[in-house]
Structure 1
Amino acid sequence: MSDAPATLAGRFAIVQASVADACVRAGRDPSEVALLPVSKTFGADTVREAIGLGWRRFGENKVQEIQAKAAALADENVSWVVIGHLQTNKAKAVAALASEVQSLDRLDLAVALDKALQTQGRSLDVLVQVKTSPEETKHGLAPDDLLSFLDQLKAFSSLRLRGLMTLAEASEDESRVRACFQSLYRLRDTARQAGHSADRLSMGMSGDFALAIAEGSTEVRIGSAIFGARSYKA
């Protein structure tokens, strides 16, 4: 994908073909792996263009971006997915605007989200983020704490557990990247055996999605390969 086409439609097509090819090489049906376009740092006009191509579900890191884009795209039926680290003081906004949170990683956040959702009469799909990488910059629940956390989540009726999410180690060593994905896959199986509904595995991004698919990912989060290089200006 180094020679990406200039148009958004062209890049979407290339990414979809690459995901399908990775599935075939892994001996998997491409229908088993969903694509979540990650629109963070790109404006509402770009998202609207993606909507015109048939996409309605987008991943975002920051709640402020969701608020701005949701307002600009109020005439569209968009599902916003929170994939970034989430502060508890953003729970009300998330409860009002998001359809899913993939970065649930601690009890106080679950409490805040449930309280806000109950007030608004809504419910939310959630994935529990697990820290499988040794990097200090990565967020997530400690693997050893997963089962007890999932048990605690049962108390929150507005939070619908759907699966697990992780960020792999940023490494040139494929074995280290694969190890992160393999860890989440095993944890998902352990959670299922314990009676938890955690079928989905959100793992893999623009640089490592093929490895994630080979290790059992059911959803890849692709941003720059679709939308292009990001600008992180304030």
Structure 2
Amino acid sequence: MTDRKGELAANLAQVERRITAACTAAGRKREEVTLIVVTKTYPASDVRILSELGVRHVAENRDQDAAPKAAACSDLPLSWHFVGQLQTNKVRSVVGYADVVQSVDRARLVTALSKEAERVGREVGCLIQVALDAGESARGERGGVAPGGIAELAGLVAAAPGLRLGGLMTVAPLTGEYAGQQQVAFERLMDLSTDLRRTHPAANMVSAGMSADLEQAVAAGATHVRVGTAVLGVRPGLG
């Protein structure tokens, strides 16, 4: 356990240096960027160590893994973010622990989240997941609404009881015009965020960037970066 704490502390310090350097290069203050550690596939014991090391935001993408982990860590001062594609039959469970659902991409999901949040008396933050690789009206391969669908979906979230419209999220596309162009993709997301804030000024969260491209996300203006591998190590089964 002690070795693992040292390992995570060293990794966190390295990620912290990267974020700080990226902020300096972009002329931004360090406190403008929130680190979310993606703890998927890692045990609750790692989440507990991360909390001891000062991490306050963690993310999961599969409810069957996240729910027991969140329960085991319910005594910790953590905000849980759900970042995976969310099926409506998992909404009841996810609303039980998630403070923010970053992967809202369709009206049916908004309705289900609102109904459950109201039922249990919680307010759930919602980010619209944007598929930059989708056409103006299609959905992306990895979830997400096309840029042309943001305004309508954001309006539904903003009007839904129990939900709070937080802003936008994206995953850098692997195909299409933005493939290998992470910073251009993230700058496009920032433009979409500016458009959204004209109608919804408080929806100022922009979640973009992961272990490999957090610098580009910070340069573009992201407010939250989602880092897993650089903090926790290469996931089991991924080499």
TM-score calculated relative to the size of structure 2: 0.89
Give the aligned length. Answer: 228
Taking a change above 3 Å as real, the CA distance of residues 136 and 98 of structure 1, as seen in their structure-2 partners, is closer
Q: Which amino acid aligns with 1:110?
A: V
Separation in structure 1 between the aligned mates of residue 147 and residue 237 of structure 2, nearest angstrom? 31
- 5+ long unaligned stretches in structure 1: none
Q: Deviations over 1:5-58 (max 9, x none)?
A: 971100001100110001111121111111111101100111111111122321
Q: What are the residue-to-residue correspondences of 1:107-146 with 2, within 5 Å?
A: 107-133=107-133, 137-146=141-150
What residue number does 2:226 align with? 221
Displacement of 1:178 in angstroms is 1.9
| 2:154 aligns with one of 140, 150, 156 | 150
What residue number does 1:187 align with? 192
- My pick for the range that moved more, 215-224 or 75-84, is 75-84
- 5+ long unaligned stretches in structure 2: none
Q: Deviations over 1:139-180 (max 9, x none)?
A: 201100111221222330211011100001247x88622221
Separation in structure 1 between the aligned mates of residue 237 and residue 31 of structure 2, nearest angstrom? 33
- My pick for the range that moved more, 128-137 or 59-68, is 128-137
Q: What SS does the aligned partner of 2:114 have?
A: helix
Taking a change above 3 Å as real, the CA distance of residues 79 and 21 of structure 1, as seen in their structure-2 partners, is same
Displacement of 1:77 in angstroms is 3.4
CA contact (8 A) 1:81 1:101 kept: yes
CA contact (8 A) 1:66 1:80 kept: no
| 1:165 aligns with one of 143, 159, 169 | 169
CA contact (8 A) 1:204 1:221 kept: yes
What residue number does 2:206 align with? 201
Q: What SS does the aligned partner of 2:58 have?
A: strand
CA contact (8 A) 2:51 2:77 kept: no
What residue number does 1:102 align with? 102
Taking a change above 3 Å as real, the CA distance of residues 232 and 67 of structure 1, as seen in their structure-2 partners, is farther
User: Percent identity between the aligned chains?
Assistant: 37
CA contact (8 A) 1:133 1:167 kept: no
What residue number does 1:76 align with? 76
Alignment RMSD: 2.1
TM-score calculated relative to the size of structure 1: 0.90
